[in-house]
Amino acid sequence: MVDDAEALAALATSTFVATYGAYNRPEDTDKHVSNSFGVAQQTAEIQSIEMSTIVVVQDTKLVAYAQLTPKEPPACFCHSAPIHLYRFYSIRETHGSGLAQQLMREVKRAAQKRQYEHLWLTVWEENPRAISFYKKSGFADVGEIEFVLGNDRQRDRMLVAPVSDA
């Protein structure tokens, strides 16, 4: 799995830039990407015993991945046994194919297997496609938190879903 670190870093970088790059200053996007998606960071995350990384490969190409981590949720979260859906990325070519729904089912199964009861995540309030997907996947909006992209302070929606419908 450590061999996937370079591919995960590349997928995360390209997906993040494709999704958010046009809406943010290049210097803020670049700062976030360099701080979040490097090969060394991906290697450490893959090797972490607390983090679960689920990858989707099609025709030998990494096309999507998700990561779960037991990070403590913000104060607006009041659900039992939470786990953070830290990343959920898929390449644009897979959008609308059903792949994201399959990956979400795997995420919920992984959370259930680790005996968590709820998933929580944050998503930029200016990303209606992602918000719509998450709501169709059983997530409810429970509040907002600040997200700093580079030097730009933004608002993210915080969403929560039970893992019991895996």
How many domains is the chain built from?
1
Residue 59 lies in a domain: yes
Residue 24 lies in a domain: no
Residue 12 lies in a domain: no
Give the chain's largest Cα–Cα span: 42
Q: What is the pLDDT of residue 74?
A: 76
Residue span of the structural domain in which 69 resides: 50-162
pLDDT tens track for 128-157:
999 999 999 999 999 999 999 999 999 999
**What are the start-end ranges of the E strands in 1-139?**
52-58, 61-69, 82-90, 118-124
pTM of the model: 0.90
Return the CATH number at 135: 3.40.630.30
Closest CA to 123 of 145, 97, 101: 145
pLDDT tens track for 8-63:
999 999 999 998 989 999 999 999 999 999 999 999 988 999 999 999 999 989 99
d(CA 56, CA 166): 18
d(CA 42, CA 10): 10
Q: What is the pLDDT of residue 1?
A: 63
